[in-house]
Amino acid sequence: MKYNYLLLLPAVALAKAGALALCLLSFEVNAQKPAKPNAADLHQAIKKLNVLGTVLYVAAHPDDENTRMISYLRNAKLYDVTYLSLTRGDGGQNLIGSEISALLGVLRTQELLMARSVDGGKQMFSRANDFGFSKNPEETLRFWDKDAVLSDVVWAYRQVKPDVVINRFYHDKKYDTHGHHTASAMLSVEAFDLASKTDAYPEQMALTQPWQARRQFFNTSWFFYGGQEAFAKIDKSTLWPIDIGTYLPLKGKSNNEVAAESRSMHRCQGFGSLSSRGESIDYLDFVKGDRPASQDIFEGINTTWTRVEGGEPIGKLLAQIDLEYRSDNPAASVPDLLTAMQIIKSLPDGYWKQRKLVEIKDVIRGCLGLYLEATANEPTATPGDAVKIRLEAISRTAHTVQLAGVAIHPGLFDTLPNFTLTLNKGWILDKTVLIAQEAAFTAPFWLQKPATMGMYSVENQALRGMPETPRYATVHWNLSVNGIPLEYETELAWKTGEPAIGEVWRPFEVLPPVFVEFTEPSYIFTQKEHDVSVRVKAGKDKVAGKIMLGKLSQPFELNKKGEEKTLTFRVKAENGNRSTTLNASAEVDGKTYSSRLVNIQYDHIPQQSVLLPSTTNASWLDLKVRAKNVGYYAGAGDDIPAALRQMGCTVKVLESKDMEAGTLSQLDAIVVGIRAYNTKDELKLHQAKLFEYVQNGGTLVVQYNTTGDLVVDQIAPFPLKLSRTRVTDETAEIRFLLPESQVLNTPNKLTTKDFEGWVQERGLYFPGEWDAAFSAPLSANDPGEKAADGSLLVAQYGKGHYVYTGLSFFRELPAGVPGAYRLFANLISLGK
Ligand SMILES: [Zn+2]
C-alpha cells in the first residue's frame, strides 16, 4: 500500500482503581435497576443473613455452569455462590444475531449476569480470551498466558473467600472434553493452594488478603461417562449425592424450575429449556482439601455467626427476627434489624462484616418499602456535557426516615436536605450536573486495549474479575431511620417507558463525542483505486472537526446528537495479494477519537454500548467473480451479504415470499447462512424449491449447520451426514486432494498460499459421510488427528451445482482473508 497509517489507540481512560478494590457491590448484578423485593424475598434474605458460607464454582465458558447446583446452594442452602467463568465465550457461535468474537463475549457476559439475577449467584471472569474450540489443555494453556489466568483464579479465591470450591470439569484428561474445560479445573486445583500463600501474586495483597479454601470438588455428571445409562452403572459410593430437586416454598418453585429459568437466559446459545420438578440427584466427587466423612459437603465448616468473633448475639437476634417475621408487615422487623445492623457495624473489620452489612441494609430497605432512584434524562453523555438528573426517594411504611444528605459521585453534586420523608409521598429533586472533561468512558473495560488471541489486557488489578465496567456515577444517600444512620449507594441509570414493553432500564454511560466507523467490515481492492467510506456519528450536539484516514482528511460538521454522515475517500493500493489495516479517526477540539460504537440490543439483556477501534482490513487481490446476482438466505446470522457486495455482486436477501422458481431462477447463486437448517423452521418448506433451482442450473452454497435439531431430513440432494469434526487450528495444512477440481481453479487459480492468514479455525461440523455424487477436493486435520475430508463437498445435480461447506467463511470473509474470498468466489461462480 502506498499510504501510511498511524496506529491510534482508543482515547479511553480506565476507571479509577483504588476506590473499587474492596467494593463488595462490584459483583452484584443488574444494579442499574432498583430491586423491588416482595415479602417472601425479604424473608428468604433474612434467613440468609444467618448463614455464613461461601461457594466458588469454576468453569470455562458461559453455559458451562450447572445452574441447578448454583441455585440449590444459593436458594436452598443460602450460601453465597459465585460462578467464575474463565472466559466470556467470545469464540462460540451465536444463535440469535450476528455478534461474533468480542461482541459475542459482551452479549454472553450479560446473559450470565441475567442468569445470576435469576438464581441469585454472583459472577466473575478472568482475562482469558475464548479463542475457539481447543482439543486439549496443553494447547489451551499455550494460547492463554497461563500465569496471568492463574493469577486471576487466585484473585477470585481471595476475593470470594470460598469455603467450598466446585469445579465443573475434571482436572486431567481422564474425560475427553474441550481443552478450556480441563484447563479451568487444572488452574482451580493449582489456585486452591496458591491463594493462601502471600508470596504468590504478592501484588494482589494491597487489595485483598490470602485465603485457604477448605475443600474442592468436581461436579461430575453422566456426560463425562458417555450417557445416562453408563453413569447409572458406576459405583457412586465414593461420591457426594445432592438432591437438587428440592422445593423452595418462598419462591413457589422447585429448585430445578429456578435453574431452568436461569439457564434459559443463555439465549444466544439456544438454551431456553423446559423446567422439571421432583427429586433429582447431582453428584460431587472429592478433589482435595479436608475430606468430609459424612455426606455434608460443608461438614466441619462453621456457617453460623459464631465463626465471627463477637458474632454470637447477632445470630441469636437474627433467628428471632426470622421467627417473628410477618409477611403482611415486614416493616415490623425493622427495629430489630437495625439493632442487628448496629452490632454488625461494631464488629472488627472483616469479610463477613462487610458482606453482611450490604445484605442487611438491603433487607432493611426492602422492609421499609424504601425506594431510591437516580436517573439521567439521556442514556449517554460525553465528557463536558450537562446532564439533567432526577432523584427520587420514597418511604412507604410508618417508620421515621430522615434524608440527611445526597451526593452524586464523582464530585458532581452534594446536598444536605435534612428532612423527614413523608409517608408514601415521594421526594423528588431535579438537578443539572456537568460530566467532567476527564471522565472515563464506560464501555467494556476488557476491550479498551488490543487483545491477543488468548488474552485480554486489563492493567488495573481492581477491574480484573469484574463482569462489567463500573458505572460512571453513583449516588450516595445518607438516611437515618429511627435515629440510626443508614447509607445506600445506587447507580445513575436511564429509564424509558416503551409502549410495547413497559419500563426499560439502561445503565447511564459516558461515551466519546464522536464515533468513526468504516462502512464495511473489510475491503477488497480488485482495482488500483477503491472508494472507502467512513461513517461519522455525533455523540453530542454540535460537533465538528476532521476525519482522517491515513494521510487523507476531510472536514465534517454535525448538529444533532445521533446525526451521521458518510465521507468517501479514494484509496490507492499496490499490486499483489496484500492485506493491511486501515485506521480512521476524528479530530475534534484538538483531541483524537478513533472508536466506533456498537450497540447490542436484545430484549433479554440491558442494551450494551461497546467501543471498538475504528479499523478495517483492506486486501488487494486478484479476484474474478462470475456470479453477478446472488441470493442470500439468512441463518443464525453472519456478515456474508456485505462480503458478497465487496466482491462486486448484487445481493438479494431472500425471504419466504421469494422462494419461488420465478425469483430464484434469476439468481446466479444462492448462499445459505450459517445454521439456517438449525434455526429456520420454514426452510423445510423451501427445500424442494432450492433443489429444483439447482436442478435447473443454479448454484447453491450451504454453510455449516450443527448436528442437532436439523429442520430437514435431507440437507442435500444426495445423502450427506453431518459430524462434529472440526479443524480448530487455523494454520492446519490444507491438502489439495483433487488439484484439477473446478472450485480450486476457476475462475481463480488457488494455491496453498490462499490458506494463509485464516483466523480462529479452518471450519467446523464437517460432514462425516457423503454420497459418491460428491467430490471432496480438500483435506485437513488438527495436529495428531486423522484427515478430515468433508470441509468442502461439491456435487453436480441436474444442470446445477450443490456445495456444502463447513469452512468458516463467516469468520474469514469479514476478517478480509484474501484466500477465503478467492475460494468463495469460485464456489458461487460454479457453472458460470
Ligand atoms: Zn464450555
Q: Is the pLDDT of residue 98 over 90?
A: no
CA of 765 to the centre of ligand 1 (A): 17
Q: Report how far ligand 1's centroid is from the alpha carbon of 468 (Å).
A: 20
Ligand 1 centroid, distance to 90 Cα (angstroms): 11
Q: Any residues with CB less than 8 A from the CB of 329 and at least 6 apart, and which?
A: none
Distance 261 CA to ligand 1 centre (A): 19
Secondary structure element (H or E) that encloses residue 218, with its range: strand 215-218
Residue 519 identity (one-letter amino acid):
T
> And the C-alpha cell for 363?
433487607
* CA–centroid distance, residue 61 to ligand 1 (Å): 5
Q: What's the average model confidence in pLDDT over 329-339? A: 97
Q: What are the grid coordinates assigned to 187, written together?
A: 488452574
Whether residue 417 has pLDDT greater than 80: no
Residue 776 has pLDDT above 60, yes or no: yes
CA 265 remoteness from chain centre: 12
Nearest to 446 by CA among 466, 418, 472: 466
Does the structure show a pLDDT above 90 at 1? no
Strands (E), 621-668: 629-633, 650-653
CB of 53 closer than 8 Å to CB of 301: yes
Does residue 747 have a cis peptide bond before it, meaning omega lies within 30 degrees of 0? yes
Extract the C-alpha cell encoding 384: 463536558
Q: How far is the CA of 60 from the centre of ligand 1 (A)?
A: 6
Q: How far does the centroid of ligand 1 lie from the alpha carbon of residue 789, in Å?
A: 26
Q: What is the Cα–Cα distance from 487 to 364, expressed in whole angstroms?
A: 11
Ligand 1 center to residue 84 CA distance, Å?
12
Report pLDDT for 39.
Answer: 96
Beta strands in 482-589 (DSSP E): 484-491, 493-498, 502-507, 509-510, 514-518, 522-525, 529-538, 543-549, 552-558, 564-572, 578-588
Q: Please answer whether residues 695 and 718 qualify as being in contact, where contact means their C-beta atoms are separated by less than 8 angstroms.
A: no
Q: Which residues of 317-330 are buried (b: 16+ CB within 10 A; e: fewer)?
A: bbbebeeebeeeeb
Q: In which band, very low, low, confident or very high, does the pLDDT at 666 lie, cut at 50, 70 and 90?
A: very high
Return the pLDDT at 524. 86
More confident residue, 15 or 60: 60
Q: Is 4's pLDDT higher than 80?
A: no
Distance CA 236, CA 239 (A): 5
Which residue type is seen at 572? K
Under 8 Å between Cβ of 772 and 796: no
| pLDDT band per the 50, 70, 90 thresholds, residue 23 | very low
> According to the model, what pLDDT value does residue 577 have?
56
Residue 125 alpha carbon to ligand 1 centre in Å: 14
Task: Tell me the residue type at 588.
Answer: V
Centre of ligand 1 to C-alpha 278, Å, is: 27
Average pLDDT for 184-194: 98
Distance, in Å, from the CA atom of 17 to the CA atom of 207, rounded to the nearest integer, reads 10
Query: What distance in angstroms lies between residue 87's CA and the mean position of ligand 1's atoms?
Result: 9
**Statement: residue 528 has pLDDT above 80:** no
Per-residue pLDDT for 358 more than 60?
yes
Residue 11 has pLDDT above 70, yes or no: no
State in Å: Cα 318 to ligand 1 middle: 40
Confidence of residue 240 (pLDDT cuts 50, 70, 90): very high
Residues near 422 by beta carbon (within 8 Å), at least 6 away in sequence: none
Residue 7: its pLDDT value, please? 25
User: Across-strand partners of 2?
Assistant: none
DSSP state of 713: S
Q: Find the mean pLDDT for residues 71-77.
A: 98
> What are the CA-CA distances from residue 84 to residues 66, 113, 528, 542 (Å)?
12, 12, 50, 44
Alpha carbon distance 391, 492 (integer Å) = 9
64 CA distance to ligand 1 centroid (A)?
5
Query: What are the backbone dihedrals phi and psi of residue 676, each rounded to the nearest 5 degrees, phi first?
Result: -60, -40
DSSP one-letter code for 807: B
Grid coordinates belonging to 719: 445423502
Ligand 1 center from residue 333 Cα (angstroms): 44
Dihedral (C-alpha) 632, 635, 637, 639: value to the nearest 10 degrees? -20
What distance in angstroms lies between residue 822's CA and the mean position of ligand 1's atoms?
Answer: 33
DSSP secondary structure of 721-788: EEEEEEE--TT--EEESSTT-GGGTSSS---GGGGSS--S-SEEEEEEEE-TTEE--EEE--TTS--B
State the Cα torsion 303-304-310-315 to the nearest 10°.
150
CA distance 473 to 509: 9
DSSP structure class, residue 455: B
Average pLDDT, the chain: 91
Q: Assign 533 to helix, strand or coil.
A: strand
- The better pLDDT of the pair 299, 412 is held by 299
- For cell 442514556, the residue is 379
Amino acid of residue 682: E
Tell me the DSSP string of 261-308.
HHHTT-GGGT-------S--EEEEEEEEES--SSS-TTTT---SGGGS
SS3 613: strand
Determine the distance separating the centroid of ligand 1 and the alpha carbon of 181, expressed in angstroms: 6
Length of the chain: 832
Tell me the pLDDT band of 28, cut-offs 50, 70 and 90: very low
Is the pLDDT at 723 greater than 70? The verdict is yes
**Whole-prediction pTM:** 0.84
Whether 334 and 399 have beta carbons less than 8 Å apart is answered as yes
The residue type found at 179 is: G
Distance 674 CA to ligand 1 centre (A): 21
Dist. CA 108 → ligand 1 center (Å) = 12
Tell me, what's the pLDDT at 717? 97
pLDDT at 555: 97
Ligand 1 mean position, distance from CA 62 (Å):
7
Q: Measured in angstroms, how far is the CA atom of residue 77 from the centroid of ligand 1?
A: 26
Give residue 443's pLDDT.
87
b/e burial code for range 707-744 (CB count within 10 A of at least 16 → b): eeebbeeebbbeebebeebbbbbbebebeeeeeebbbb
3-class DSSP state of 137: helix
The residue assigned the cell 454535525 is 558
pLDDT for res 32: 67
Asked if 97 contacts 602 with a C-beta cutoff of 8 angstroms, the reply is: yes
| pLDDT greater than 80 at residue 287 | yes
Q: What is the mean pLDDT of residues 667-686?
A: 95
Torsion 745-762-645-514 (CA) sign: negative
- Whether the CB-CB separation of 791 and 758 falls below 8 Å is answered with no
pLDDT value, residue 762:
97
| 168 Cα–ligand 1 center, Å | 10
Q: How far is the CA of 133 from the centre of ligand 1 (A)?
A: 9
Residue with cell 445484605: 359
Ligand 1 geometric centre to CA of 288 (Å): 23
Share of the chain above pLDDT 90, in %: 77
Band (pLDDT 50/70/90 cuts) for residue 511 is: very high
Residue 20 has pLDDT above 60, yes or no: no
**Peptide bond preceding 410: is omega within 30 degrees of 0, i.e. cis?**
yes
Rounded to the nearest whole angstrom, what is the distance from the C-alpha of residue 66 to the centroid of ligand 1?
11
pLDDT of residue 9: 24
**CA dihedral of residues 55, 61, 62, 66 (deg, nearest 10):** -50
If you measure from the C-alpha of residue 344 to the centroid of ligand 1, how many angstroms do you get, rounded to a whole number?
A: 40
